[in-house]
Structure 1
Amino acid sequence: MDQSATAITLTNARMIVPGGVCEGWLRADRGRIVSLDAGEAPPHGGGEVVNARGRWVVPGAVDMHIHGGAGAAFTDADPERAMRIVEFNRARGVTTLLGGLVTATPSDTLKQVAALTELCDAGELAGIYLEGPYIAKSKCGAHDPALLREPDPAEFDRILKAGRGHVRMVTVAPELPGALELIRLAVDSGVVAAIGHTEADYDQARAAFDAGATVATHLYNQMRPLHHRDPGPIAAALNDERVTVELINDGVHVHPGAAALVFASAGSDRVALITDAMSATGLEDGEYTLGKLRVVVEGGRAVVAETGTIASSTIVLPDAVRRTVHDLPGVGIEAAVHSAAATPARALGLDSAGLDAGVGSLKVGNRADLALLGRDLAVEAVLHNGAWVHRS
């Protein structure tokens, strides 16, 4: 087969690239971005040529915190069901994601990690994310409080071994006994440590960041609130240049005014838009499960049936990008796209270093993951690993 048949050239594109906007062309070949420049496209070098007609061309989104979609959950411990989530998101412009797990029994967690490891080995998932079990009962949210436990290095080591190097991030409440030691163990093992679901005060959060934690899990939600005499983990995260702050901008979890404050304080280089999405994403309202808990979805808003606590979201990441551009004063498309792609990719170490090809930005050498946006920033086409996975 002629290798040029794998090549795709986009012309007349408005591309969001590192440092700004480039109006011109991009060429992908054998799964990689091989050239990108302003102006008219170079002489035709074979393969497919697509006229972007001045549409936005943006890097594929990177969702570092997601639990499910299309009726499936990563906690199902079923690679086929997990692939349903991957394919559902991929067709909507989310070309990189972690398999997010919630608090479960030790044995169930090991089964779930083992199942997701298969997809990590195959390159379908970028890693595994553990939200719990080492979080505060008073801030458990949609986690089963009966299954929460104190940080346990021996258990964590068993999880790491089951993950065969694919556990990429873990959330810990830093005020728990042994939390700082577990954060150090995670970092030493190549795992990104995050703080969240926490009652930590300002100094305890700072201690966690000094121990190596570099992410704040869904800022504002399920953590000690910001107060001018008790600033807590929110101020500690926003004040620390080492920390990436996750933000669920779905119109439910965080008020637009509070979300805009995060961007104004930390900037798009440190704000990672996430979904925290559950299995109901893409489906009608009704009753679902998150882990072992019953969740009711009405009008797209998901809450735990027994407590009324907000339980995950039902959006895909490009929805958060559109909402950010439309609803947050002073945050334009470049910043929103950066927070949905480059920032989470960097926070997870997926941007380039040590990889076959980086993700999260349109630059030569990176994986050819991108989306074409149409009216109202709707995703019209998606390229993943140099091949079309969606074209409207």
Structure 2
Amino acid sequence: MKYFIKADRFLLEKEVKKGSYLVVEDGHFGSFVDSLPANSKIMDWSGYTIAPGLFDTHIHGIDGHDIMDGRTDVVHGISEALLKLGVTRFLPTTLTSNKEDLNQAIKAVTDAVSTGLAGAQSEGIYLEGPYFTEKHKGAQNKNYFRDPAIDEFLEWQQLSKGTIVKIALAPEREGSMGFIRSVSERGVLVSIGHTDASYNCCTEAVDAGARNFVHLFNGMSGLHHREPGATGAGLIDQRAYSELICDGFHVHPDIACFALKTKQDKLLLITDCMRAGLMPDGDYLLGEFPVVMRNGVARTETGSLAGSTLNLIDGIKNLQQWSGNSLTEIWHLASLSPARSLGKETILGSIKPEKTADYVVVDDNLHVQATAVQGEIKYRKQDL
């Protein structure tokens, strides 16, 4: 199917395009044209902006669902809930748990994806843990922490039918460097997180192939002028991406802007959202931990932040407002940078000929009006 999109503006990688029509054909973007052939099919979004579909590479759940529930209906529920938020791609993310529950979560995602997701599409599984250390454990269960084991990972990879694309660990654990090299050589993105590692240890991990830092500033050794720690490594090492939760609670706005200036397009906007996202204040579970959400902030019983309830598009709004940088620059930190971190930038993440036609229709206040996956409108605001 071929159609032409009419809109006030299009957010491209380096510019805002106006006054043309965007071709969409067979689920992919084409070129811009200034005039239309006779009898063309037009998707008229006059008054609105067309932006690339968002890609959340770190999300545990939303709308009452959690990947660790280990059920296919939960995965489908997350997929569909994300559409109204402009998210077209995501990485279903696990938590540290016992092996049985992790196996079940992996199987549920794999089975759900194999039957086809109706909403946002999974680009692979993200194992957040279980190879962490206790000091910066956050809402991860220390009872299941252990040293990385390549045989165990390969069992999970086999169970997932080769769809695990990202794994987080603490690089100070015994055997980590060999594990990082082995997993990275298999095309899996290794992330550094929930760690008390030194700056030198983190640099060694990046040398071995790690290329991402989990939710920068949170769950890691802090920045000090004589020992930069994991935070310093995440800020300084331009070989690696760094995730950032821009909800105003996990990271102070001025520090978020500092990270943006330092990392630039190596910054990844994520949500780390858990099941309380889109839900009212109340009591929830994050894995095995009771969590209380008050005023949209989720915390464990001990007061630690427990993931977030952030919507990715709100993270964009926040960082754009805090920094004053252009919307197109900030938007692509939640679309193109995530795709690049996983080596998918040639097919996802921006509006460009031959890329997959994932896009979002937004108004001037960045309220989502419609979301398209592979050129097909999957969500449309009811009052349109």
Q: Contact 2:13–2:329 (CA<8 Å) still a contact in 1?
A: no
> How many Å apart are 1:44 and its aligned residue?
4.6
Aligned residues: percent identity? 33
Task: Determine which of 201, 205, 212 is the counterpart of 1:204.
Answer: 201
Q: Which amino acid aligns with 2:330?
A: A
The 1:212/1:379 distance shift into structure 2, 3 A limit, reads: same
Q: Who is 1:3 aligned against?
A: none
- In the alignment, structure 1 segments of 5+ residues that lack a partner are 1-5, 353-357
**1:31-77: CA deviations, max 9, x gaps?**
1112325xx34335533431333x32110000000000011111111
Q: Contact 1:7–1:48 (CA<8 Å) still a contact in 2?
A: no
Q: Which amino acid aligns with 1:86?
A: S
**1:238-265: CA deviations, max 9, x gaps?**
2222111100001111000110000011
Q: 1:113, 1:300 → 2: CA distance?
A: 28
Q: 1:195, 1:45 → 2: CA distance?
A: 53
Q: Who is 1:117 aligned against?
A: 110
Q: 1:197, 1:206 → 2: CA distance?
A: 16
Task: Determine which of 6, 9, 15 is the counterpart of 1:14.
Answer: 9
Q: Contact 2:245–2:269 (CA<8 Å) still a contact in 1?
A: yes
Task: Determine which of 86, 93, 110 is the counterpart of 1:93.
Answer: 86
> How many Å apart are 1:165 and its aligned residue?
1.0
**1:262-317: CA deviations, max 9, x gaps?**
001111x1011000000111110111111111111010000012x11000111221
Q: Who is 1:378 aligned against?
A: 367
TM-score w.r.t. the length of structure 1 is 0.93
Task: Determine which of 267, 272, 289 is the counterpart of 2:268.
Answer: 272
Q: 1:52, 1:83 → 2: CA distance?
A: 32
Q: Does the alignment pair 1:187 with 2:187?
A: no
Q: Who is 2:303 aligned against?
A: 308
Q: Contact 1:11–1:41 (CA<8 Å) still a contact in 2?
A: no
Aligned positions of 1:105-254 closer than 5 A: 105-121=98-114, 122=116, 124-254=121-251
**1:98-130: CA deviations, max 9, x gaps?**
110000111211121111112344463110000
Q: Contact 2:336–2:345 (CA<8 Å) still a contact in 1?
A: yes
Q: Which amino acid aligns with 1:187?
A: S
Task: Determine which of 266, 286, 291 is the counterpart of 2:287.
Answer: 291
Task: Determine which of 77, 82, 90 is the counterpart of 2:75.
Answer: 82
The DSSP-based 3-state class of the residue aligned with 1:375 is: coil
> How many Å apart are 1:232 and its aligned residue?
0.8
Q: Which amino acid aligns with 2:295?
A: G
Q: 2:135, 2:85 → 1: CA distance?
A: 35
Q: Contact 1:14–1:21 (CA<8 Å) still a contact in 2?
A: yes
The 1:50/1:179 distance shift into structure 2, 3 A limit, reads: same
Q: 2:112, 2:268 → 1: CA distance?
A: 24
Q: 2:3, 2:64 → 1: CA distance?
A: 33
> How many Å apart are 1:372 and its aligned residue?
1.5
Q: Contact 1:91–1:389 (CA<8 Å) still a contact in 2?
A: no
> How many Å apart are 1:160 and its aligned residue?
1.2
Task: Determine which of 3, 27, 30 is the counterpart of 2:26.
Answer: 30
Q: Who is 1:360 aligned against?
A: 349
TM-score w.r.t. the length of structure 2 is 0.94
Q: 1:261, 1:83 → 2: CA distance?
A: 37
Q: Which runs of 4+ in 1 moved over 6 A?
A: none
The 1:41/1:384 distance shift into structure 2, 3 A limit, reads: farther
> How many Å apart are 1:164 and its aligned residue?
1.1
- In the alignment, structure 2 segments of 5+ residues that lack a partner are none
The 1:91/1:45 distance shift into structure 2, 3 A limit, reads: farther
Q: Contact 1:10–1:52 (CA<8 Å) still a contact in 2?
A: no
> How many Å apart are 1:203 and its aligned residue?
0.2
The 1:133/1:43 distance shift into structure 2, 3 A limit, reads: same
Q: 1:286, 1:251 → 2: CA distance?
A: 20
Q: Who is 1:339 aligned against?
A: 333
| Worse-matched range after superposition: 83-92 or 24-33 | 24-33
**1:315-352: CA deviations, max 9, x gaps?**
221111111112x2242211211100000011012222
The 1:368/1:45 distance shift into structure 2, 3 A limit, reads: farther
The DSSP-based 3-state class of the residue aligned with 1:138 is: coil
Q: Contact 2:73–2:112 (CA<8 Å) still a contact in 1?
A: no
Q: Contact 1:8–1:386 (CA<8 Å) still a contact in 2?
A: no
The DSSP-based 3-state class of the residue aligned with 1:322 is: helix
Q: 1:41, 1:90 → 2: CA distance?
A: 31
| Worse-matched range after superposition: 331-340 or 214-223 | 331-340
Q: Contact 1:13–1:25 (CA<8 Å) still a contact in 2?
A: no
Q: Contact 1:273–1:317 (CA<8 Å) still a contact in 2?
A: yes
Q: 1:106, 1:35 → 2: CA distance?
A: 48
Q: Which amino acid aligns with 1:277?
A: C
Q: Contact 1:82–1:116 (CA<8 Å) still a contact in 2?
A: yes
The DSSP-based 3-state class of the residue aligned with 1:296 is: strand
> How many Å apart are 1:29 and its aligned residue?
2.2
Q: 1:36, 1:80 → 2: CA distance?
A: 39
Q: 2:259, 2:68 → 1: CA distance?
A: 30
The 1:43/1:140 distance shift into structure 2, 3 A limit, reads: same
Give the length in aligned residue pairs.
376
Q: Who is 1:355 aligned against?
A: none
The DSSP-based 3-state class of the residue aligned with 1:8 is: strand
Provide the alpha-carbon RMSD of the alignment. Answer: 1.4
